[in-house]
Amino acid sequence: MVRKICLAALFGILRFPTAGHCLPDPGSASLPHVDRVLVYKSKRLMELCNGSTVLRSYRVALGRNPVGRKVRAGDCRTPEGSYRLDRRSAASRFYRSIHISYPNAADRAAAQKLGVSPGGDIMIHGLPKGFEDVGEFHAITDWTKGCIAVTNAEISEIWRLVPDGTPIEIRP
C-alpha cells in the first residue's frame, strides 16, 4: 500500500509525455485491419500496422532486464524475434493479456544448447489489479518479468484491433 501511495505521489508530480497516439474509435464497423505488430525494445515502443502504415503506437514497459534476447526462464528479458499473437485471456492477474508464441524453434534450440528451459508465458498485458490508476506512468521503468505492458485502456484497444494469429516482431 505504501508503495502504491509513493508511486501515485511521484506520478502526480511528474508530467511524462506519452509517445503513443490513439485515433478516435471509429466504431466497430470500420475498425482498421492490423496485419502485424512491431515492438522496438530500445525505444519502448509498440506499433500496430497495416502494411507500411502505422495505425496506432504505444509506449511500453518491458522485462526488468530488457537488453538482449531472452535466453532462459527467469531472466526477466523480453524476447526478440518473430512470433504470433496466438491466444488471449480476460482472466489473468493483469487486466487482459494476449499471449506471444514464445518460444519459437530457434529459442528452444538455443536454450537446449545451454541446458536450460527457455521459459514461456510471454504476453502483451495491461496493469496488475490494484495499479490501474498508475496509467501511462507505468512506462517510466521496465517492471515486467519479460512481458510487454501497456495501460488498461490501451490493451482494451489492442484487444479489439488485433486478431489472434497476427504476427509480432520484437526488435532490439
pLDDT of 139: 84
Nearest to 135 by CA among 28, 81, 43, 61: 61
Name the strands in the sheet holding 97-100, side by side, starting at the edge strand that comes first in the sequence. 53-59, 45-50, 36-40, 166-171, 81-89, 97-100, 123-125, 148-149
pLDDT of 132: 79
Per-residue confidence at 12, pLDDT binned at 50, 70, 90?
A: very low
Nearest to 163 by CA among 36, 41, 38: 36
pLDDT in tens, 82-106: 999 999 998 888 999 999 999 999 9
pLDDT in tens, 106-138: 999 999 999 999 999 999 999 988 887 787 888
Q: From the options 3.30.470.20, 3.30.2310.20, 3.40.50.450, 2.40.440.10, give the CATH code of 2-171.
A: 2.40.440.10
